[in-house]
Amino acid sequence: MNAGDSLPVGQHDIEIQANRQAWQRKPQLRAVYRGFHELIASRLDRTVRGQIVELGSGMGSIKEVIPDCVTTDLFPNPWLDRQENAYRLSYGDGGISNLILFDVWHHLRYPAAALSEFRRVLAPGGRVIIFDPAISWTGRLIYGLFHHEPIAMRQPLTWDAPPGFRPGDAGYFAAQGAATRVFWRREAPGRLAGWELCEVTPLASFEYFATGGFSGPQIGGPAAFRLWRRLDRTLSRWPNLFAARILVVLKKAK
């Protein structure tokens, strides 16, 4: 599958429903995600007035760590607060303080259109916090072999939406290497005008890989996962080799 392949947008909701089943039977996966959400929570700027909103919330589990976060997705589900499209948000101008994208950036076919909408709804000094796959040597190997979505590190980056683009017609898109290329490798120079890039932190995540994610088998029990976590802290010193996740903080310029 290539990044530009056309899939029905309903594929996104199909994956959410399948993931909910895995979520219930994998306590270690839930623990790893809680750690990810705690990292995101530590980057929130609560001095900025406005709501905290997550796009693409999936199962809405971020509320376990950030209970006042408004959870949203393309599709209505009873456990989510709102239905939203990243290219056309229903929020008024300047009403959001922090916008969270967890495993969402690599699904944005047209980042320029999304960023324009993010600037509109964010208050001055508001943040976009992105948590996405990181494509190091390890990331390329594991995501390439064991994840169905394309990495797309060598395909042309799409940025601007075509004339006549309608948000509801965006379709399903995935390119796991997108955040790595834009924020870490800086392959889109000049494309972040009006934003301050506050943080780009690649992280090792063997603890996550050991859970098997939402579709694979888990490796080891709780004791093994404590060892994986300590190993991740060490291996994160060499992100080009071992990073599997990337944390990005963008700040709207005042």
Candidate from 16-30, 58-72, 123-137, 231-245 with smallest mean pLDDT: 16-30
Residue 5: predicted pLDDT: 46
Residue 11: pLDDT band (50, 70, 90) is low
Residue 24: predicted pLDDT: 73
Residue 6: predicted pLDDT: 45
pTM of the model: 0.90
Residue 223: predicted pLDDT: 81
Q: What value does the mean pLDDT of the chain take? A: 90
Q: Is the pLDDT of residue 137 over 90?
A: yes
Q: Which amino acid is at 224?
A: A
Domain ranges in the chain are 11-252
Mean pLDDT for 46-74 is 96
Q: Is the pLDDT of residue 7 over 50?
A: no
Residue 146: predicted pLDDT: 79
Residue 170: predicted pLDDT: 79
Candidate from 18-22, 170-174, 179-183, 198-202 with smallest mean pLDDT: 18-22
Mean pLDDT for 175-190 is 95
**Residue 88 CB neighbour total at 10 angstroms:** 13
CATH number 3.40.50.150 given to 11-252: yes
Residue 147: predicted pLDDT: 80
Q: Percent of the chain, pLDDT > 70?
A: 92
Residue 221: pLDDT band (50, 70, 90) is confident
